[in-house]
Chain A
Amino acid sequence: MQKNILYAGAFLTLVLLQIFLIDNISLSVYFHPLIYVAFIILLPLDTKPIWMVLLSALLGLTIDVMTGMGGLNIIATTATGFLRPFVLKMVTGHAMGTDASDTSLHRLPEKNFQWYIIAMVVLHSGIYFMMESLSLMHILHTLLRLIVSDIATVMFIYYFVKLFIEKILNR
């Protein structure tokens, strides 16, 4: 129960940070970090697939409504949430979440943990930016946006998830 409140707190913090801080940083057209995906990343490894999909959709819906984007964030977050088990399987080489002793994210070896974050961020922003531009005409432009934004996103999420899991969840 108490953990659920902590996760809800993380959800709220990330949404508010994205909308009121990150979206107000107007550095360049290429700099558009999507940090709220951290919520999907830090969910426990044994989260049921149905909850993964529902919570991801809720996250996307919240951002969509607050920023007036027409469904773009739901498309990206729901796909990311749905595909998370496959990403985990890919980075660790075996299915996670079936073994009860292995459900906390910080049990992931450091290297797998980093790859997991990078894969999730690239997956999410890849869908997001491709759907936003909806054409291959500006593919180089889109790729550059992806690279610049993802470097910032991965760095932020790495420290955010570490902080959340080590300092708040396992206090």
Chain B
Amino acid sequence: MYKLIEFLRRIYVVLLFIAIEAIALNYYAHSSYYTQAKILSRAHSIAGGLQSSIFGVKHYFTLRGENEILSQRVAELESALAYYREKEIDAQTDSLTMNGIDPLMLESLSQYRYTTARIISNSISRSRNFITLNRGLMHGVMEDMAVISPSGMMIGYVVGCSERYSVVLPLLNVDFRTSGKIAGDEHFGSIYWSGNSPYKVEMSDLSKHADIEVGDEVVATGLSHFFPEGIKIGYVESYAINDTQTSYHVTVRLAADMTKLNNVILIENVDYGEINELENNPQHEN
């Protein structure tokens, strides 16, 4: 008995070490981007204030470049607006057909709703990176909202929200998956990050019948419920057919510079809940 206690006294540090490592390994093995985002959004409720003030200082130095992008975007939208105004006038003159359509109803017909947020922390140096935004549940941000850059490039989607902050799973996370296609072509492939370069993602399983050339634009498909169809992902940098000669593997140069992000636009798919409910409806399985 005495010898046993003596023995335990000698090795209890080793036992403690093994116990801690076992718990941590077990937790790490079972953690997904979802649990990580949950912890992160909790932590930001505490440390978010400090984090956002530090990012605020950084933000100040990039204002000039950002202003240029924004004014370009304003110009683009202005011209689009002018186009629609013209259409409206046309429609009004042709009022017999448009008669009776309530503008409020038109708004509710639109599938996507937009809001903006500022990035308060962003990493690119891990294999599982996350972006934190200064908007949360109380600002109407919800999980599964799409996140794009002010110039309309894909960034990621929201995976966790606290009251005032939300966490985004960006393209630069090895757990990120979405579908993409070559603009103007209907074949789609799956987009993921291999963890190597913050400027490139991969697209695999693109049908060999797809019409592809270096420099082609890669955009989101309407198949993902997060991203509106046509959101720009990047450009084809190189492509090769796979060993079994069935599909292309494409390297895509990202359109958004993930290392220099400040403001983002959040897109809510108003119909997402409805589609999701329909897809998960148990009646399907019968």
- Measured CA separation A65–B40 after assembly (Å): 7
B17 in contact with A78 (CB, 8 Å): yes
A29 in contact with B36 (CB, 8 Å): no
- Measured CA separation A79–B21 after assembly (Å): 8
A26 in contact with B20 (CB, 8 Å): no
Which residues of B (108-154) have their CB < 8 Å from a CB of A?
121-128, 130
Residue B95 at the chain A interface, CB threshold 8 Å: no
A68 in contact with B125 (CB, 8 Å): no
- Measured CA separation A27–B23 after assembly (Å): 33
> Which one of B17, B28, B37 contacts A68 once the chains associate, using CB atoms below 8 Å?
B37
- Residue of B whose beta carbon sits closest to that of A31: B125
In angstroms, how far is the closest chain A Cβ from the Cβ of B254? 13
Q: Can you list 26 contacts pairing A with B, beta carbon distance less than 8 Å?
A: A20-B50, A20-B51, A23-B123, A24-B122, A26-B125, A28-B125, A28-B198, A29-B196, A32-B126, A53-B17, A53-B20, A60-B24, A68-B38, A68-B130, A68-B167, A70-B30, A70-B39, A71-B27, A71-B28, A75-B25, A78-B17, A131-B28, A132-B127, A132-B128, A133-B127, A141-B196
Residue B75 at the chain A interface, CB threshold 8 Å: no
Instruction: List residues of chain B with CB within 8 A of the CB of A64.
Output: 39
> Which one of B43, B123, B127, B195 contacts A65 once the chains associate, using CB atoms below 8 Å?
B43
In angstroms, how far is the closest chain B Cβ from the Cβ of A108? 23
- Tell whether A133 pairs with B43 under 8 Å between CB atoms, given A24-B121, A72-B28: no
A50 in contact with B12 (CB, 8 Å): yes
- Measured CA separation A66–B35 after assembly (Å): 13
Instruction: List residues of chain B with CB within 8 A of the CB of A29.
Output: 124-125, 195-198
- In the complex, besides A24-B55, A66-B47, A79-B21, 4 extra interface pairs with C-beta distance below 8 angstroms are A64-B39, A65-B39, A70-B36, A71-B24
